[in-house]
């Protein structure tokens, strides 16, 4: 992956200067020798300059591999950054530096160092290190995920958490989530005995539930279905483009050339999303007839789009919300609320199929708690063993193995070393979750480890040994909804059906690195009916 990136860079530079080299064949050999020597001297000075930077200021830079002049450590990264970073930590310690092109990166892989960043100096490290692609697909960083820390981000997050994810609103939207989950159960039942893509099943369930909560009752029938299909395709491409290594991020001086076309691709995706969201917003405003924005068919509950449009119309608001900001938040919710949940549900199902004894315990707990009934969200708090299974899966397969990279707004000292302003800071959660000094048998799938002290473990970053969603100010804003939906969908699928691999196929648990860590291959499984009563599938 990164070797391809270097090849593209070298090839592009060669093409840019090919005219000179061809012309120089006709020039004096001395001119070419002078150029070659000058380039070597320039590389040496660059190397000395980067080395000297660690000797300035109150504390040195962390240790780390030297890499090569100009390109730094890029040629040696490989495709699985979380594993490469863990191996480097064993050599250089839990905090080290490496240069990726012109970008200085610091990697942290211990709870004590994580505490310094997400707790002790949380405000200083509250900025994201947004890539060019991430900024392009988030309307220039106007969303919650990629915007810089400050009053704008606080306002946007407050609107999202207070209006969309408050307990009152989540409870009011339960019927929408229930409808989508039960629709999924009916669809699976109609395909009993046939191989099904687990990830796709859960992705579409989550997508439909989220869209219902965002603008439910606005787009109906076939139009709503087509919007869902389009979003599924665009979300997958957005996740892929954000994770793609981009020369422009490592060598800012080359950004204007967009050598790989990453920025152009990202902007095309944004045009696609814009078209979908504009259609949804226009439809809502048309139905409202320009009066009383937000009054949908359901007078008892306002969806998120209604609330945002009402805020937009409030002229007395100090910082009124624009349509672009509304679309940025909508995209955050759709992208963040679907792909990650579907990915984690697929990992949970894969681990359960790999460990049939654990699967049996989960289904026994469901039989005891739920009985011969349809799973309801009220059952979720009682499913302690399933909760432990999900937490153990997040430990072994964190959705974001390096979280979202941070960038300090000022130079800071962490672990006795200087982290300069605007450095790219990775928290290697994958390595922390598999550290043998922190976990017994860290490579083994043991849900019971989360049962002994249930109050010790949660998803909110209170225990810095376990950070699947991060911690501090920039912890995942959609966590309350993600936790509910993941448990609800899994409990429903596991209670209603038995699941087996297609005959002759082996279970693959290999990882595919990205900003979201997915299975290398989709999980395909065959459902069979668990209960004789058809009421559970109606």
DSSP classification of residue 397 = S
Residues 6+ apart with CB under 8 A from 284: 215, 218, 293, 296, 305, 306, 309
Whether 111 and 163 share a structural domain: no
pLDDT band for position 295 (50/70/90)? very low
Q: What is the pLDDT of residue 7?
A: 54
Q: How far apart are CA 534 and CA 538, in angstroms?
A: 6
**52 domain-assigned:** yes
Q: What is the pLDDT of residue 21?
A: 38
Whether 259 and 115 share a structural domain: no
**210 domain-assigned:** yes
Which tens digit of pLDDT belongs to each residue from 68-114? 999 999 999 988 999 999 999 999 999 999 999 999 999 999 999 99
In the predicted model, is pLDDT for residue 19 greater than 70?
A: no
Q: What is the pLDDT of residue 460?
A: 92
In the predicted model, is pLDDT for residue 218 greater than 50?
A: no
Give the DSSP H or E segment for 11.
helix 2-24
Nearest to 126 by CA among 109, 139, 144, 108: 144
CATH of the domain at 332: 1.10.630.10
Give the DSSP H or E segment for 412.
strand 412-414
Radius of gyration of the chain (CA): 25
**146 domain-assigned:** no
**193 domain-assigned:** yes
In the predicted model, is pLDDT for residue 139 greater than 70?
A: yes
Whether 485 and 526 share a structural domain: yes
**Cα separation values, 507 from 4, 349, 351, 359, 519, Å:** 30, 11, 9, 15, 11
Strand order in the sheet with 95-100: 95-100, 103-108, 424-427
Whether 215 and 364 share a structural domain: yes
Whether 107 and 228 share a structural domain: no
Whether 187 and 296 share a structural domain: yes
Q: What is the pLDDT of residue 223?
A: 52
Whether 39 and 177 share a structural domain: no
pTM of the model: 0.86
Q: What is the pLDDT of residue 161?
A: 86
Of the residues 127, 159, 186, the one at which a domain ends: 127
In the predicted model, is pLDDT for residue 315 greater than 80?
A: no
Whether 216 and 173 share a structural domain: yes
Whether 213 and 167 share a structural domain: yes
Domain that holds residue 65: 2-127
Q: How far apart are CA 249 and CA 255, in angstroms?
A: 7
Nearest to 293 by CA among 319, 312, 320: 312
**145 domain-assigned:** no
Query: Do the beta carbons of residue 334 and residue 214 sit within 8 Å?
Result: yes
Q: What is the pLDDT of residue 20?
A: 35
**258 domain-assigned:** yes
**135 domain-assigned:** no
Whether 114 and 173 share a structural domain: no
Strand duo 95-100 + 103-108: pairing: antiparallel
Query: Do the beta carbons of residue 241 and residue 1 sit within 8 Å?
Result: no
DSSP track, 495-507:
HHEEEEPPTTPPP
Of the residues 127, 142, 161, the one at which a domain ends: 127
Q: How far apart are CA 60 and CA 254, in angstroms?
A: 29
Sign of CA dihedral 14, 17, 18, 23: negative
Whether 70 and 203 share a structural domain: no
Number of domains, the chain:
2
Of the residues 127, 160, 181, the one at which a domain ends: 127
pLDDT band for position 1 (50/70/90)? low
Lookup: tokens for 515 = 């900003």
**132 domain-assigned:** no
Whether 302 and 334 share a structural domain: yes
Which tens digit of pLDDT belongs to each residue from 27-70? 455 555 554 555 556 556 655 555 555 455 468 999 999 999 99
In the predicted model, is pLDDT for residue 293 greater than 60?
A: no
């Amino acid at each position: 992956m990164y070797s391809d990136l270097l090849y593209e860079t070298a090839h592009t530079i060669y093409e840019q200067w090919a005219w000179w080299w061809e012309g120089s064949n006709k020039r004096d050999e001395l001119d070419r020798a002078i150029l070659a020597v000058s380039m070597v001297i320039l590389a040496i000075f660059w190397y000395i300059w980067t080395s000297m930077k660690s000797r300035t200021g109150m504390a040195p830079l962390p240790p780390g591999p030297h890499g090569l002049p100009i390109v730094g450590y890029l040629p040696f990264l490989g495709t699985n950054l979380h594993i490469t970073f863990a191996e480097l930590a064993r050599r250089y310690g839990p905090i080290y530096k490496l240069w990726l092109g012109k970008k200085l990166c610091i990697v942290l892989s211990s709870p004590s160092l994580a505490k310094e960043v997400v707790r002790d100096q949380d405000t200083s490290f509250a900025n994201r290190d947004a890539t060019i692609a991430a900024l392009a697909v988030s309307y220039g960083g106007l969303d919650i995920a990629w915007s810089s820390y400050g009053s704008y981000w606080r306002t946007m997050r407050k609107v999202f958490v207070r209006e969309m994810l408050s307990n009152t609103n989540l409870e009011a939207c339960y019927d929408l989530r229930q409808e989508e989950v039960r629709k999924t159960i009916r669809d699976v039942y109609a395909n009993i005995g046939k191989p099904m893509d687990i990830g796709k099943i859960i992705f579409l369930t989550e997508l439909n539930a989220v869209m219902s909560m965002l603008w439910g009752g606005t787009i109906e029938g076939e139009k709503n279905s087509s919007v869902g299909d389009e979003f599924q395709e665009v979300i997958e491409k957005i996740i892929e483009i954000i994770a793609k290594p981009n020369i422009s991020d490592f060598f800012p001086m080359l950004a204007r050339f967009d050598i790989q076309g990453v920025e152009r691709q990202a902007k095309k995706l944004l045009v696609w999303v814009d078209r979908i969201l504009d259609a949804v917003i226009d439809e809502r405003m048309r139905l409202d007839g320009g009066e009383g924005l937000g009054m949908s068919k359901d007078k008892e509950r306002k969806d998120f789009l209604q609330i945002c449009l009402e805020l937009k119309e409030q002229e007395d608001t100090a910082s009124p919300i624009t349509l672009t900001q509304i679309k940025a938040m909508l995209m955050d919710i759709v992208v963040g609320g679907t792909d990650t949940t579907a990915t984690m549900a697929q990992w949970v199902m894969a681990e359960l199929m790999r460990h049939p004894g654990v699967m049996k315990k989960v289904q026994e707990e469901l039989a005891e708690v739920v009985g011969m009934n349809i799973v309801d969200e009220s059952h979720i708090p009682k499913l302690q063993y399933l909760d432990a299974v999900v937490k153990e899966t997040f430990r072994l397969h964190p959705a974001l193995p390096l979280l979202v990279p941070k960038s300090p707004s000022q130079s800071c000292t962490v672990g006795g070393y200087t982290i300069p302003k605007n450095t790219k800071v990775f928290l290697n959660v994958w390595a922390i979750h598999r550290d043998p000094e922190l976990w017994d048998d860290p490579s083994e799938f043991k849900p019971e480890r989360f049962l002994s002290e249930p109050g010790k473990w949660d998803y909110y970053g209170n225990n810095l040994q376990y950070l699947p969603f991060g911690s501090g100010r920039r912890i995942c804003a959609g966590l309350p909804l993600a936790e509910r939906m993941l448990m609800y969908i899994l409990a429903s699928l596991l209670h209603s059906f038995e699941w087996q691999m297609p005959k002759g196929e082996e279970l693959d648990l290999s990882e595919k690195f990205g900003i979201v860590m997915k299975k290398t291959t989709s999980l395909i499984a065959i459902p069979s009916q668990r209960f004789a009563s058809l009421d559970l599938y109606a």
